Amino acid sequence: MWIYNFGLALYAWVIRLIAPRHAKARLWSEGRRDLFERMAGTIDPGARIVWIHTASLGEFEQGRPIIERIRRERPEYKILVTFFSPSGYEIRKNYPGADYIFYLPIDTPANARRFLDIAHPEIAVFVKYEFWLNLLAELRRRSIRTYIVSAIFRRNSIFFRPYGGMWRQALETFDTLFVQNDESKSLLAELGFDNVVVAGDTRFDRVAEIAAAAKRIEIAERFKGGSRLFVAGSTWSPDEELLIRLMNDNPDIKFIVAPHEMDESRIARLMDETRGGALRYTACTDRTEYGDRQLLVLDTVGLLSSVYGYATWSYIGGGFGAGIHNTLEAATFGLPVAFGPNYLKFKEARDLVTLGAAKSVANYEELKQWFVPLRDNEEYRRKTSRVAKDYTTRHQGATGLIVKAIVR
């Protein structure tokens, strides 16, 4: 355990050392300054607290359906949300669905005790990952009901290594482990855990809620007109290289491309190299004439999930880098999906490929071979669309199962 504690102390020291020159490290460090004082001055000591911890933004979106279901069905509870990463906290620090939102303190024994003294949770929920050994040990010592949700366990993870004893012990903290798949349940059974429930992934419930609440995007509606629309979300430069060729080979199809980062040079390249003409979303007004212009660059945030509702086909970026982004937001609208080759660690993407609702492409020729039949054969496109939609519908329900079990 001393190695774990030393490693965390070293990590915190390095973060503080580089904070003056590194924006994310500065946010990480400053966000924890006077943390306990701010918590003590905010959290009602008499409240019944459900504490939900998420590492970053992606895990928050998985936990969000649980937060909102508890808020709606059990209003007697106050909800505390914590983040480890600035990329989650800074975006969701004003989220109205939680009563209290803070950074998680670095996981030392003293911090764990002080955090739980102030937070006094009745229930603790960890989303997907994040196994903080001192916090889990203190939760276990205090007999606080603790759960992990939307978890995935793999054979090569530390829990199944000869030297993973203290990590296996940490799993004993959880009253129930809600996992995404049967493989995770089987692996945990090998360790002797029988308190495992295959609940699935709460993201399916989240994207269903997003689709049901999709906003009318007037600019997208006017841009599309009577044309068919291809929407590409969270794209990076290698994705955009393929999409430029696809646009220029399909002048009768309109495209909306949402870059993952608003890099001006990449946006300029998209607009300059699209022969059918291009517009930026942020430059459009009530007076904008869209005409036959082929590309609309979605250079703003918060609209992509609603824009998918106008599309006929979709592409998800990131597959030529660290990994693809959210395929479910597109699939829940019944869109055929394409993405780059780095997708295998995402179960939903693997499932969609197996079902024929999605295609991994390594180059432009493969993208073209996927797209042309879907463009020219309406019956085939409708069938593919139904498969994608049915897949997302079939996997809904994890949130209700989890909330019913933990808030009893």
Q: How many CB atoms lie within 10 A of CB 328?
A: 26
Q: Is 101 a residue whose pLDDT tops 90? A: yes
Amino acid of residue 177: L
* Phi, psi angles (nearest 5°) of residue 299: -95, 50
- Only one residue has tokens 């012990």, namely 169
Dist. CA 252–CA 275, nearest whole Å: 12
Which one, of 47, 134, 141, lies nearest residue 99 by Cα? 47
- Give the three-class secondary structure for 181: coil
**What is the pLDDT confidence band of residue 29, given thresholds at 50, 70 and 90?**
confident
Q: Which range has the top average pLDDT, 14-18, 143-147, 212-216, 300-304? A: 143-147
2-209+397-406 against 214-394: fold identical: yes
- Residue 2 in this model has a pLDDT that exceeds 80: no
Q: What is the pLDDT of residues 170-190, one digit of tens each?
A: 999 999 999 999 999 999 999
User: What is the per-residue pLDDT across 134-145, written as a single tens digit (0 to 9) for each?
Assistant: 999 999 999 999
What percentage of residues in the chain have a pLDDT greater than 90?
A: 82
- Check: CATH 3.40.50.2000 for 214-394? yes
The count of other CB atoms within 10 Å of the CB of residue 254 is 27
Give the bridge partners for 48, in sequence order.
Answer: 77
Overall average pLDDT of the 277-288 stretch = 94
Average pLDDT of the residues in 89-95: 91
Using CA atoms, how far apart are residues 190 and 154, in angstroms rounded to an integer? 12
Class of the CATH-defined domain 2-209+397-406: alpha beta
Beta bridge partners of 200: none
pLDDT band at 302 (very low <50, low <70, confident <90, very high): confident
> So what's the pLDDT on residue 3?
82
Nearest Cα to Cα of residue 225 among 306, 310, 287, 336: 310
Bridge partner list, 53: 82, 126
What are 334-371's pLDDT values in tens digits? 999 999 999 998 989 999 999 999 999 999 999 999 99
Listed in order, strand segments (DSSP E) in 137-241 are 145-151, 176-179, 196-198, 229-235
Query: 270 near 240, Cβ under 8 Å?
Result: yes
Helix spans in 52-108 (H): 57-73, 86-92
Give the Å distances, CA to CA, from 39 to 47, 120, 332, 405: 13, 11, 38, 28
Instruction: Output the pLDDT for position 114.
Output: 97
Residues 169-188 as b or e (16 or more Cβ within 10 Å = b): ebbebbebbbbbeeebbebb
Q: How many CB atoms lie within 10 A of CB 267?
A: 18
CB of 152 closer than 8 Å to CB of 126: no
pLDDT in tens, 237-267: 999 999 999 999 999 999 999 999 889 999 9
Q: Are 144 and 116 in contact (CB under 8 A)?
A: yes
Q: Where are the domains of the chain?
A: 2-209+397-406, 214-394
- What is the pLDDT confidence band of residue 12, given thresholds at 50, 70 and 90? confident
Of 129, 60, 130, give the one whose Cα is nearest residue 88: 60
User: Nearest 5 degrees, angle CA 178-CA 148-CA 211?
Assistant: 70
- 213 torsion bin: left (phi>0), alpha (psi -120 to 50), beta (else): alpha
Give strand pairing partners of 52: 81, 125
Give percent above pLDDT 70 in the chain.
Answer: 100
Show the CA angle centred on residue 63, arms to residues 61 and 64, nearest 5°: 65
| Number of residues in the chain | 408
Q: What is the DSSP letter of 224?
A: H
Q: Supply the Cα-derived Rg of the chain in whole angstroms.
A: 23
Query: 0.85 cut: is pTM over it?
Result: no
